[in-house]
Structure 1
Amino acid sequence: MSTRREVLDRLTSLRLHQQQGRRAPHKPLLVLLALGRLAGTGSSELPWSEAQQGLSDLIAEFGPASRTGRAQSAAYPFTRLRSDGVWTLSRDVPMDLVGPLSAHDVSGRFAESVEAALRGDPELLRSVARALVESHFPPTIAPDVLVAAGLDADEILHATAPTAVAARRRRGGWRADILRAWDRQCAFCGYDGQLGHASVGVEAAHVRWFSHDGPDDPDNGLALCVLHHKLFDFGAVGLDGGMGITVSAAFTARTDVGRSVYDLHGRALRPRPGTPLPAPAHVDWHRREVFKGDALAA
């Protein structure tokens, strides 16, 4: 049986196709889905007929925009996770091909020693899930990822056990500096609520995610209200090369409040004098790796 440390290291050190800052959360999302399955049923076994839908949904919602078909996007991690030594398939099939997976309804599951260690140690399961979600997603959407994978977000994110990931240290004064630079108001909508001397519902947002080497620099930050911070990290809202706000055509709303997000489209950022605009390199990363699909028509 694999030791606790071995399992933690193996599941949080997956080989990912990451080049030039590209996001590749496909394998981590499959592991999280299998962890949710194990926590809920006692077995990580995941038939392709179910994984094709569940995994493709996770990738579409929390992965970067892709022109690859949904089933194909799910087939990549479902077949390639075997190369990390933590995943097995019920039938030997070629890498990446949807046809053989569908024809035989192949099942995937954690390797026997990995599953035994996880089943016998719930704290290990929570540590793996926490390490993966914190390594690949910002805090604004980490709970949503866990819930979508069938896991208890509160239980996992509030755990005190250490993880295998050596976290980068955030610069302590960065949040205060960003809020001050943007006059403690949302750069998108202008919301500036305060309670006493404390800003309420206004946060410092990284343009290029901190979890993906985004620096704690003035030109990688925006002050955003809680709503627009979450929409920004989900890729529903972004920036164009001219520092104008863009709204994804994939975003929809029916009520007047929800539809007010459309009004942001085309609005220019207007920082106070001396406040740097986000660096083009960080904006390009967000547009390529986070923003969902095409922007609304002008």
Structure 2
Amino acid sequence: MKSPAEVLDAFENIRRAQRAGVYAPHKPLLALLALARVQRDEPRQVEYGEIDGALKQLLTEFGPSSAPSSRHYPFWHLATDGLWDISGPRQTLARARGATPTLGELRQGHVKGGFPLDIDAALRADPLLLQTVASRMLDTYFPSSLHGDIASAVGLDLSAPPRELREDPSARETYAESQRKRRDPTFRDRVLRAYEYRCCICGFDLRIGHMPAGLEAAHIQWHNVGGPDIEPNGLSLCALHHKLFDLGAFTIEPQNHRVVFSQYAISGERGTTGHLQFHGRQILAPHDPGLSPAAQYLAWNASNVFKKPARSSSLTKSADQLT
């Protein structure tokens, strides 16, 4: 098993694009996707066909317009950096590293890839090391404004580890087990799809090509305090309203699903153009009523996050009880 320093060196020595200034996120995104698999304690190697869709979506959302067409390149070329272990048909493995297999060859040959055994073992044994590697990769290859979106898209949990983990290495095994039970990487897609890719507060639905931009899946009852990764515990929110929701500036009334702003939320634009215009309005409902936010999660949010008292309005009695 490699030492933490050797693992960090291995990730920092990933070869970049040959020309200076070229943005090539292929290898970093594949590596981050694989780190998330390790964090969830999934098998070391995965067939290319199983992650082809995820790679295409990642490169469509976070790469240049031409990136998705070459999404299979890093699955083959990351091995030349000593960071990827490939298995598959002998005739495929025998070809020169510069001769990249086609998408069809990787799929039909059931070619598998994953971190080498010694790196994989070190990452599984030390969840803090895994988080450090992921954070450094995000810092190295992507602007800070995208870090949260990318981590969410690949299913990585980069929340700060508890103090006892940093001070007591013997606690790392317990922490590693808790990490394996963390976020479901499909939560974001399921919630955004339920709300038809729009913010349920303001209707924001900008897309870049076919990909939604600036939309996030918010947990109503926070994940770190037991909130499940299911649609009734999720809201599709633009980045701004997600931030405001998590700050307790507004909540959602449990029965009629109306927006309730806090008296502490003060805006210079209180009319039809300011954020407070949404106070008292119903959220834009998901396409399936069965995916609507559940009352018990909204009640948790109102009790634990929302900054009471609520602003006065003609809301229903249950909304008034938030005060």
Amino acid corresponding to residue 132 of structure 2 in structure 1: S
What's the counterpart of residue 100 of structure 2? 95
Identity %, equivalent residues:
36
What's the counterpart of residue 133 of structure 1? 138
Does the 8 A contact of 2:30 with 2:75 survive in 1?
A: yes
What's the counterpart of residue 116 of structure 2? 111
What's the counterpart of residue 49 of structure 2? 49
Normalised to the residue count of structure 1, the TM-score between the two structures is 0.50
Does the 8 A contact of 2:151 with 2:157 survive in 1?
A: yes
1:24 match: secondary structure: coil
Q: CA separation of 1:155/1:63 partners in 2, compared to 1, >3 Å: closer, same or farther? A: farther
Map 1:1-298 to 2 at 5 A: 1-66=1-66, 70=68, 72-91=69-88, 92=93, 94-155=99-160
Larger Rg: 1 or 2? 2
Question: What is the rounded CA distance, in whole Å, between the counterparts of 2:209 and 2:111 in structure 1?
Answer: 36
Question: What is the rounded CA distance, in whole Å, between the counterparts of 2:4 and 2:212 in structure 1?
Answer: 44
1:132 match: secondary structure: helix
1:19 match: secondary structure: coil
CA RMSD of aligned residues (A): 3.0
Cα drift, residue 107 of structure 1: 1.1
What's the counterpart of residue 176 of structure 1? none
Alignment gaps of 5+ in structure 1: 162-235, 237-246, 259-298
Alignment gaps of 5+ in structure 2: 167-205, 214-237, 239-323
Amino acid corresponding to residue 73 of structure 1 in structure 2: S
Cα drift, residue 34 of structure 1: 0.3
Cα drift, residue 60 of structure 1: 1.1
Question: Does 1 or 2 have the higher relative contact order (CA < 8 Å, sep 6+)?
Answer: 1
Does the 8 A contact of 2:61 with 2:211 survive in 1?
A: no
Q: CA separation of 1:54/1:252 partners in 2, compared to 1, >3 Å: closer, same or farther? A: closer
Question: What is the rounded CA distance, in whole Å, between the counterparts of 1:151 and 1:39 in structure 2?
Answer: 7
Cα drift, residue 115 of structure 1: 0.5
Cα drift, residue 252 of structure 1: 6.9
Cα drift, residue 55 of structure 1: 1.2
Cα drift, residue 154 of structure 1: 2.9
1:89 match: secondary structure: strand
Deviation digits for residues 177-200 of structure 1, max 9, x if unmatched? xxxxxxxxxxxxxxxxxxxxxxxx
Question: What is the rounded CA distance, in whole Å, between the counterparts of 1:65 and 1:124 in structure 2?
Answer: 33
Does the 8 A contact of 1:59 with 1:73 survive in 2?
A: no
Cα drift, residue 99 of structure 1: 2.3
Cα drift, residue 141 of structure 1: 1.2
2:121 match: secondary structure: helix
Q: CA separation of 1:142/1:102 partners in 2, compared to 1, >3 Å: closer, same or farther? A: same
Q: CA separation of 1:252/1:109 partners in 2, compared to 1, >3 Å: closer, same or farther? A: closer
Question: What is the rounded CA distance, in whole Å, between the counterparts of 2:129 and 2:143 in structure 1?
Answer: 22
Amino acid corresponding to residue 78 of structure 2 in structure 1: L
Question: What is the rounded CA distance, in whole Å, between the counterparts of 1:125 and 1:77 in structure 2?
Answer: 20
Cα drift, residue 4 of structure 1: 1.1
Q: CA separation of 1:124/1:248 partners in 2, compared to 1, >3 Å: closer, same or farther? A: closer
Deviation digits for residues 38-57 of structure 1, max 9, x if unmatched? 11124332211112111111
Deviation digits for residues 95-116 of structure 1, max 9, x if unmatched? 2422220111211110111111
Cα drift, residue 131 of structure 1: 0.2
Q: Number of residues paired by the alignment?
A: 167
Amino acid corresponding to residue 129 of structure 1 in structure 2: A
Does the 8 A contact of 1:76 with 1:95 survive in 2?
A: yes
